[in-house]
Structure 1
Amino acid sequence: MIDVTEQKRKIAVIGGGITGLTAAFYLQEQARLHHYPLEIVLIEGSHRLGGKLQTLRKDGFIIDRGPSSFRDPKGIVAQLAKQLNIEDEIVTTTNAKTFIAIDKDLQQVPQNTIMGIPTKFKPFMASELVSWSGKVRATADLIIPPSKVDGDRSLGKFVRRRFGEEFVQSLIEPLLSGVYSGDIDELSLQSTLPSLLRYEQQRGSVIRGMRHEMKSSEPGDFTVRHNSKNVQKFRGGMSTLTHALTDELTDCEILKSVKVQSITPFQDKTCLSLNNKSTILVDGVIVATPLHMVTNLFEEEEVRQLQTVPCNTVATVTMIFKEDSLQSFDGTDVYISRNSDYSFTSVTFEHKKWPFIAPEGYAVVNCYIGRTGDTAIVDLSDSEIEKALLEDFQQLFGLDQLPLETIVSRWKDSMPQYTIGHADRVKKAKDTLRKLYPTMRLAGNSYNGISIPKCIKQGKHSADQLLCELFEHTPQFTNSFD
């Protein structure tokens, strides 16, 4: 056992989303394991914990209002679920097929592709998504030499150089824009998909790099039909994870509907001023709130520079239909080409991927709206959004039925855009904070990854760093988020 001081320390975790809950859970776990004299307080500004992981359960339906699934190639979610004894709740879809909508045409994404990039050439060459000249240009990735550009660069510019304009516009751009709700020409390669650059530099080709990764992966890590790494969710909905975390935080004081208004140094501690007119003195802080809340807490210019990180407002629109009212469609996921005149960025027929989320005979369809330069639709009324989406459904799927129910979930400023230079801006802000507040950490989807696994990893890593600072704890995690 590590010999630690008997002086009790206190750490505050600000923000009760998946990052903050994970940080609090890991602090508690390590304090118990090493007998650290540690108090933990979790402060959440709303009346509920879980952030965007919200599940509505009603009349046999399981509807996720935020993220409805996840990819877990490194087993980060699986490891946490095992610690929480909910690993048996994770299910993997085996029935998924992705399409791209170009105008009124629906074309299947070729099998054996990752993010649209082919790892086998026969299904790619048979696809009608790209012309023959576009296919030939895309395969030039195998002979184009690696770039010698130093520093960060545009994700869009990188993939266009490797694969050509037509291939990117028809295949890569719809898929990536659907994931990041942004413009790939403005997004940072370093902060979104650094693996593509690594493939190019190490293998001389993105395609070769992906093929090598597929061959070296465990069997079952990839599904041919979904054209990507396996997609998973929790059987009872995504809030299964946050509820399990909350239930485990028995040694943690939880304050809900309480907001931190300012953070200031006080002697050798940090003072948190709350909106209930009280203050808390702590020895360490993990700030895991949305970015627009973080920048209001500090006066330091380097931290306030993070205000320049754009955050898109998006919404998830869930529609419930009688299944026999839908036209026959062979796919589960549809991504929208940026050149198409549709309101949504992507559509998922959830009941096809996860039959257990709806009673037999019913269909659950999720539409995702909002992207860079096109967020006005999110501000419309629920009925106006429903009307616009149904018009799109009529064009794409021949739907002429009204939904039995529509649920609109808006997420204001929830999708940070990792624009070029993002990693340097984040590093500068964190370095500044660390000089002024050695025992403070920033974590969450605004910094080092928007996915659930990466948010979990950031929560764990931040907790590990603070324990190292306060108790000479042996670090368990590296500062890598690739």
Structure 2
Amino acid sequence: VRGEQGDDAVRCDWKLTAISRDETTGKYNLSYDTPDGARTLVAKSVALTVPAYVAAPLIKSMAGDASDKLLDIYYPPVAAVTIAYPEEAVRDESMTGPGRTLEGFGQLHPRTQGVTTLGTIYSSALFPGRVPKGQVLILNYIGGCTNTGIVDQSEDEIVAQVDKDLRTMLLKPDAPAPIKVGLRIWPKAIPQFNVGHFDRVNAAKDGLKQAGCSGLFLGGNYVSGVALGKCVEYGYVNLAGEIAEHARSVKEEVKEMVEN
């Protein structure tokens, strides 16, 4: 995107640290930490698409009620665990691809299976060339709202639990120990759409309006849905329309002021 739009359109490595609204002009002052030091940009409208817990402190001084509603949105921890095995470690019935290879996207694990791993992605099947020939690369997710203690476990303990779970569904009982390729714990991972979730989101939006923060819009996976496609769709269909409508209304206000 940066290559197509240019450096002025896409700023990488800029961290937004504060937002304030100029009551006279109605514009927003955006304070950033950048590789070149502190910078401030001025904008007529802002689409805030960071996680709810990141957006909350940014808008706290302008819209306290909206900030509080965003903090009510729950993000449980999840660990992403990438491990590798030799192909012969995988059960024969799972090797359905050409030349007896692991094929498919992956699998989700219902709690009724008695495992704690949430889901598994067959990385080497989706992205050829990720591992040497004869190996399979598997990305697993473990944790979530029913296993928040994942943040207190060591990496070895987490890998051991994932390996144990995979042996009940994908691997042969005598499979060798996995090779740990990567592990990252996300303390706040996926927003939970619990009962009343959209009431909280709408209350946050209403809080912005009541605080006079017209032109400041909320987006991201807690608003649209956690899937990437949902985020893109919301940006094009909903958020872009809201911003365009705001721009039109501001233009009309300015026109009326000039005419009067």
Report if TM-score (shorter chain) is over 0.5: yes
Deviation, structure 1 residue 372: 1.0
Alignment of 1:287 with 2:48, yes or no, is yes
**Contact 1:321/1:364 (CA < 8 Å) preserved in 2?**
yes
Contact kept? 1:378, 1:385, Cα under 8 Å: no
User: Which shifted more, 433-442 or 357-366?
Assistant: 357-366
Q: Does 1:322 align with 2:89?
A: no
Counterpart for residue 406 of structure 1: 181
Q: Does 1:274 align with 2:32?
A: yes
Instruction: Say whether the 8 Å CA contact 2:65–2:207 is kept in structure 1.
Output: no
Equivalent residue number for residue 338 of structure 1: 111
Q: 1:341: how far off?
A: 3.8
Q: Which residue is 2:159 aligned to?
A: 386
> Which one of 213, 221, 244 corresponds to residue 445 of structure 1?
221
Q: C-alpha displacement at 1:339, in angstroms?
A: 3.9
How far did residue 253 of structure 1 move? 4.8
Q: Deviations over 1:257-308 (max 9, x none)?
A: 4232343344221122335554332211110111111111123213321211
Counterpart secondary structure, 1:419: coil
The aligned runs of 1:300-379 (5 Å cut-off) are 300-330=64-94, 332=104, 333-352=106-125, 355=128, 357-379=130-152
TM normalised by structure 1 equals 0.43
Aligned with residue 427 of structure 1, among 195, 202, 214: 202
Secondary structure of 2:57's match?
coil
CA distance in 2, matches of 1:380, 1:278: 40
- Stretch deviating more after TM superposition (316-325 or 256-265): 256-265
| 1:470 corresponds to which of 247, 250, 257 | 247
| Distance in structure 2 (CA, Å) of the matches to 1:273 and 1:259 | 6
What TM-score results when the alignment is normalised by the length of structure 2? Answer: 0.76
How far does residue 394 in structure 1 lie from its aligned partner after superposition? 3.4
Query: Does the 8 Å contact 2:16/2:30 carry over to 1?
Result: no
Match in the other structure for 2:257: none
SS of the aligned residue for 1:368 comes to: strand
Q: Is the 8 A contact 1:262 1:274 kept in 2?
A: no
1:355 is displaced (CA, Å) by: 4.6
Cα distance in 2 for residues equivalent to 1:293 and 1:353: 32
Distance 1:399 1:432, change over 3 A: farther
The answer as to whether partners of 1:319 and 1:366 remain within 8 angstroms in 2 is yes
Deviations 1:62-104 (A, max 9, x none): xxxxxxxxxxxxxxxxxxxxxxxxxxxxxxxxxxxxxxxxxxx
- Name the aligned partner's letter for residue 423 of structure 1: F
Structure 2 alignment gaps of length 5 or more:
96-103, 251-260
Q: CA deviation at 1:441?
A: 0.7
CA RMSD of aligned residues (A): 2.6
Greater CA deviation, 289-298 or 314-323? 314-323
Instruction: Check whether the contact 1:347–1:366 (CA below 8 A) recurs between aligned residues.
Output: yes
Letter in 2 for 1:365: I
| Count of equivalent residues | 229
Q: Is the 8 A contact 1:343 1:377 kept in 2?
A: no
The alpha carbon displacement at 1:426 in A equals: 1.1
Contact 1:326 1:399 in 2 (8 A): no
What is the SS of the residue equivalent to 2:121? strand
CA distance in 2, matches of 1:342, 1:363: 21
